[in-house]
A and B are shown apart, each in its own frame.
Chain A
Amino acid sequence: MNEDNYLNAGFSLRSWFFTTDHKRIAILYFASLIFFFFVGGAAATAIRIELATPQADLVSSDMYNRLFTMHGIIMVWFFLIPSIPNTLGNFMVPLMIGARDLAFPRLNLLSWYLFMLGGGVTLFAILAGGVDTGWTFYTPFSTLYSNSYVTVAVTGVFVSGFSSILTGLNFIVTIHRLRAPGLTWYRLPLFIWSLYATSVILVLATPVLAMTLVLIAVERLLGVGIFDPRIGGDPLLFQHLFWFYSHPAVYIMILPGMGVINELVSCFSRKAVFGYKFVAWASLAIAAIGFLVWGHHMFVAGQSLLASLVFSFMSFIVAVPSAIKVFNWTATLHKGSIHFDAPMLYALAFIGLFTIGGLTGLFLACLAFDVHATDTYFVVAHFHYIMVGGMVTAYFGGLHYWWPKITGRLYSEYWARTAAVLIFFGFNLTFFPQFVLGAEGMPRRYHVYPPEFQVWNVLSSGGAVILAVAYLMPMFYLGYSLFFGRRAPANPWNAPGLEWQTPSPPPEYNFDTQPVVTRPPYQYSPDFEAEPQNA
């Protein structure tokens, strides 16, 4: 372990809270996200326990509504959206492109403060009494009928939106301007491509949400607003504006996950990603077409038939680049030399779960079936397969993959594999029954439900317990490794990426000498064991 690294560059609080080092900011984000993940997860646990029986027995209806709203708001805006970009991305982007930092380090720090401010305001709204609108804030319920802390919560999300925008801006400019000499676009790791695509969405979609939230606040405060049906306003306009952001936001969550999977699949099959250019452009295609599909949330809301038709068609189209990626990952395995280390287990789980999530997405894009399935548990199951089965799995995979680089320590492979397998089974047990529930017609956001749905709900709740335990496990063995883990060499996976060419943990300015790139990415040597490291 090199003695001169970013972790021991200073130990004071000041050296952390006023740092402009992208690596330290990534750590700040990481710590905050663990907290928010715990808060959102606690709400989810309470929801699943309540739903084990058809009646209301644990919480009141009001409390239940506040719980799922809190789960949604926290998980979407304070965990899923910032997860990979702001932790792994923040840490890895400069390292992977051979830069000494992001283009605007102080903006990066400001982004974290905005995030925390937004999170604090939102938590205040929750502690003060909660919000009962659902994370979607549909009008006119949110503006005229809800008497919970909507305005405060909306303010929190609004502020954190600027954190998203600044992060996206920083990544775009950094990837354009700070690449190492010789690192052309087609030599970039695919993780960078997907973060670039993510950033495009962050920058172009988030402001529309910001404006929409402002309008909600105006409508609540003045009692007259732009969506108010009492004066001829149209509540569907809100849904258009909201989903213009919130559907692309799903791609904000999944694209970085796909990026991580590229790194994992190629590293652990010792082979370059199959069809590099197709995968790279598929990321941008998803980001662009992802903006054209938002109306598929409104097939039964009363939008015009033509609009439904166009949005349904576009939703099928956006599935094509996703399909391309899945096929390419599979083809990457062909004639590889596959190692089943923990990150690879996560990657394989991702491919399976994401594909199920993607295919059920087609069910929902299909107009006639969506009429039946929308606003039921089918939708809940579908997006949890994408966001939890896909995104969170990729996040864990990436975290394990880069953990030695970030912390300079090796974790216990045995426990890591156990946790990965347990997460996979717990996840499927939790969410697969929800597909059945949805197809049978159980609406989402139901506190009490007809007794015939109980069997599947019990299965789901049981799975949630396993999943919760499995998600806690990494906290222990990764935490343990921080203090007692073996020291990590610079390149434990013997990978060719630039981030592995500098010591673990990296020095304060990443590289002692400016790296120069002369080869395409993913030039793996077949042997997995790293060359002997300098002691």
Chain B
Amino acid sequence: MPEAKAFASQFVSSQHRDETAELGMWVFIATEVLLFGGLILGYFVYRHAYPAAFAAASRHTDIVIGAANTAILLTSSFLVACAVDAFSAETRKICVALLSGAIVLGLTFVVLKSIEYSDEYREHLIPGIDFNFDAALTNGAQLFFVFYFVATALHALHMLVGVALLAVLATLTYRLPSSRHRAALHSGALYWHFVDVVWIFLFALIYLPGRSS
């Protein structure tokens, strides 16, 4: 009977193990908040220094793709939350389907993001490689786009990790849903939602400024 050795010896019970794992994920998320925090401080500092350039640069981003990606991520988060709810032996196929939906949406996000990147390349908006902007605002705009590319690339990296994670979880769930996998799915879902939250703020910082002028 594998259930006897289902949890490592430092734990008292499998529930103890699962709660510990979730706590670990929360600590990891706190770390991640500060990882993006450094970038966000830089963003605010330069937005304060170059308000006009930031507004102008922001207008050059593609709000349609940005908003679509936000909707996509919010929906994928919704699907993942549903998948956590649907995790049980009876409904495991629904759970897998929901996860697959989230994976597809996640990949769509990345694809749209790369389309956006290539558009920006064509518009000469990549600092250091090929940057061409209204001469008067070029400094602030470069700083904006450095922030933009670093932040969104880092976020996209998180997305890819998340997609891989969801794929593994979907496979495990499909094969044999156990309480161990429920905990794993739970932690994976926390991570996915966190990546979603990061994007909510990036969206507000990158796409929205300067639209009204």
Interface residue ranges, A against B (CB under 8 Å):
94, 99-105, 165, 168-170, 172-173, 176-178, 203-208, 210-212, 214-215, 218, 221-226, 231-234, 237, 240-241, 244, 509
Separation of A428 and B37 alpha carbons in the complex (Å):
41
Q: B45 to chain A: closest CB distance in Å? A: 6
Complex partner residue of A232 from B19, B37, B143, CB under 8 angstroms: B143
Nearest to A232 among chain B residues (CB) is B139
Per-position binary interface string of chain B over residues 3-31, scored 1 when its CB falls under 8 Å from any chain A CB and 0 otherwise: 00000111100001001100110011011
Q: A residues within 8 A CB of B27?
A: 168-169, 172-173, 203
- Residues on A with beta carbons closer than 8 Å to the beta carbon of B143: 226, 231-233
The answer to the question of B2 belonging to the interface, with a C-beta cut-off of 8 Å to chain A, is: no
| With known contacts A208-B38, A232-B139, A233-B143, A509–B9 Cβ distance under 8 A | yes
Contact partners of B162 in chain A: CB under 8 A:
none
Q: Looking at chain A's contact residues, is the secondary structure mostly helix, strand, loop, or mixed? A: helix
> CB-CB < 8 A to A165: which residues of B?
31
A224: min CB distance to chain B, Å: 4
Given A231-B142, A232-B140, A237-B42, are A101 and B8 neighbors across the interface (CB < 8 Å)?
yes
Return chain A residues, CB-CB under 8 Å to B160.
Answer: none
Distance between Cα atoms of A100 and B138 in the complex (Å): 59
- Stretch of B55-63, B96-104, B126-134, B164-172 at the chain-chain interface: B126-134
Within 8 A of A (CB), among B116-157: 127-129, 131, 138-140, 142-143, 146-147, 150, 154
Which of chain A's residues have a CB closer than 8 A to the CB of B39? 211, 215
Roughly how many angstroms separate A168 CA and B28 CA in the complex, as a whole number?
A: 10
Report chain B residues within 8 Å CB of A221: 128
Of B16, B32, B38, B131, which is within 8 A of A224 by CB?
B131
Evaluate contact between B9 and A101: CB separation under 8 angstroms. Answer: yes
Taking a contact as CB atoms under 8 Å apart, the answer to whether B38 and A173 are in contact is: no
CB closest residue in chain B, given A215? B150
Q: Is the interface of B mostly helix, strand, loop or mixed?
A: helix
Chain B residues, CB < 8 A from A206: 31
Contact B19 A214 (CB under 8 A): no
When distances are taken between beta carbons in the complex, the residues of chain A under 8 Å from B20 are: 103, 173, 177-178
Given A103-B24, A206-B31; 6 other pairs, CB 8 A cutoff: A101-B9, A203-B30, A204-B31, A207-B38, A224-B127, A225-B146
Please state if B38 and A100 are interface contacts (CB–CB under 8 Å).
Answer: no
CB-based contact A169/B28 at 8 Å: yes
Cα A224 to Cα B35 with chains together (Å): 21
Looking at the assembled complex, report how far the CB atom of B35 sits from the nearest CB atom of chain A, in whole angstroms: 4
Q: Does B49 contact A (CB under 8 A)?
A: yes
**B1: interface (CB < 8 Å):** no
The answer to whether B38 touches A241, judged by C-beta atoms less than 8 angstroms apart, is yes
The digit string for B29-56, where 1 denotes a CB below 8 A from any CB of A, is 0111011111101100110011000000
B10 with A208: CB separation less than 8 A = no
Q: Determine the residue in chain A with the shortest Cβ distance to B147.
A: A226
Within 8 Å CB of A105, what residues of B? 8, 10
B42–A224 CB distance below 8 A: no
Contact yes or no, A210 B35, CB < 8 A: yes
Q: How far is the CB of A215 from chain B (nearest CB, A)?
A: 7
Chain A: CB-nearest residue to B36: A211
Which 8 pairs of residues, A with B, have the shortest CB-CB distance? A222-B128, A211-B38, A207-B35, A224-B128, A232-B139, A224-B127, A101-B10, A207-B34
Q: How large is the interface on B (under 10, 10 to 19, 20 to 34, 35 or more residues)?
A: 35 or more
Q: A205 near B34 (CB under 8 angstroms)?
A: yes
Q: Note all chain A residues with C-beta closer than 8 A to B32.
A: 207
Asked if A208 contacts B42 (CB within 8 A), the reply is no
Chain A residues near B131: list those with CB within 8 A: 224
Complex contacts, A212 vs chain B, CB 8 Å: 38
Q: Do the beta carbons of A169 and B24 come within 8 Å of each other?
A: yes
Nearest chain A CB to B31's CB is how many angstroms away? 5
**Inside 8 A of B127's CB, which chain A residues have their CB?**
222, 224
Residues A173 and B24 in contact, CB atoms below 8 Å apart? yes
Residue of B whose beta carbon sits closest to that of A106: B8
A104 and B24 contact, CB distance less than 8 A: yes
- Closest Cβ of chain A to B130, distance in Å, is 11
Chain A contacts for B24, CB-based, 8 A: 103-104, 169-170, 173
Chain A residues with CB under 8 Å of B45's CB are 234, 237
- A20 CB → nearest B CB, Å: 9
Give CA–CA (A302, B188) in the complex, Å.
Answer: 45
- In the complex, chain B residues whose CB is within 8 Å of the CB of A231: 138-139, 142-143
Q: Is the CB of A177 within 8 A of B23?
A: yes
Would B42 and A204 count as touching, CB distance under 8 A?
no
A234 to B39, CA, bound (A): 14
Residue on B nearest A103 in the bound complex, by CB: B20
B138: which A residues are within 8 A, CB to CB? 231
CB closest residue in chain B, given A214: B150
Q: Which residue of B lies closest to A170 (CB)?
A: B24
Q: What are 13 A-B pairs at a CB distance below 8 A?
A: A104-B24, A169-B27, A169-B28, A176-B23, A207-B34, A208-B38, A211-B36, A222-B128, A224-B128, A225-B146, A226-B46, A226-B150, A231-B139
CB of B73 to closest CB in A, whole Å: 22
Cα(A223)–Cα(B19), bound, Å = 46
CA distance A105 to B10 in the complex (A): 9
Task: Report yes or no: B35 in contact with A232, Cβ–Cβ below 8 A.
Answer: no
B8 close to A232 (CB less than 8 A): no
- Contact residues in B for A169 (Cβ distance below 8 Å): 24, 27-28, 31
